[in-house]
Amino acid sequence: MHQGRIILASRSPRRAQLLRDAGYSLIRVDPPFNDPPQPPVKVVDACALATELAHCKAMSLLHDASFHRHTGDVLLAADTIVIAPPPLSELLGQPSDIDDARRMLGILLGNTHTVVTGVALCHLNTDSSRAHEGLHTFADVAQVTMGHAPDAWIDAYLQAGHWQGKAGGYNLTELHEIDVRVAGDPTTVVGLPMMKLRLWLEHQGFRAMVK
């Protein structure tokens, strides 16, 4: 069994908390790769898009020679996208401002939409030149059904800034007082599919190193 840390290539505090709750010791780093602008276009293959973005984040760190001092740890990058319900079926990235967040919530509330989280992982070894060959990717999909919400709730949610930095303008754990049902792994919606992730880590013989 390997014992090491997760090197989380993400700015998301929610992903970090999921890993800590599962008992993993982690280090957060900012990947040099920035997500491209996400216009409201229809998505042909959401899983491929999410895993490609996660792959780009991981590779942007693997190309940095100084990063490979983390030998024995696991590099983890992820990207979450929200797909609006049909007939729109458009990609909902992070809102650009409060008005954009209001627009997204208007699309999602009272409907069922799709959330996809793509993941890229690599067990870091001593041969930094070949690290990319061990890069593994997968995606997980969940369906989220939201109830309707009164205007007062929407206004309060937006004014509190809960929409900032979140695909689709929301975080599952902050949707209080409205009916929300998830078909699939709820952690996929939060930003990191922990069920699949644990299986991969176990298959790699990686054991959580608790602080």
Catalytic residues: 79
Residue 198 dihedral angles phi and psi, to the nearest 5°: -60, -40
Distance between CA atoms of 101 and 14, rounded to whole angstroms? 19
Residue 17 dihedral angles phi and psi, to the nearest 5°: -70, -40
Q: Are the C-beta atoms of 168 and 92 separated by less than 8 Å?
A: yes
**Three-class DSSP category at 6:** strand
Residue 99 dihedral angles phi and psi, to the nearest 5°: -70, -40
Distance between CA atoms of 170 and 73, rounded to whole angstroms? 31
Q: Which two tokens stand for residue 53?
A: 């973005």
3-state helix, strand, coil in the chain (%, to 5): 35, 25, 35
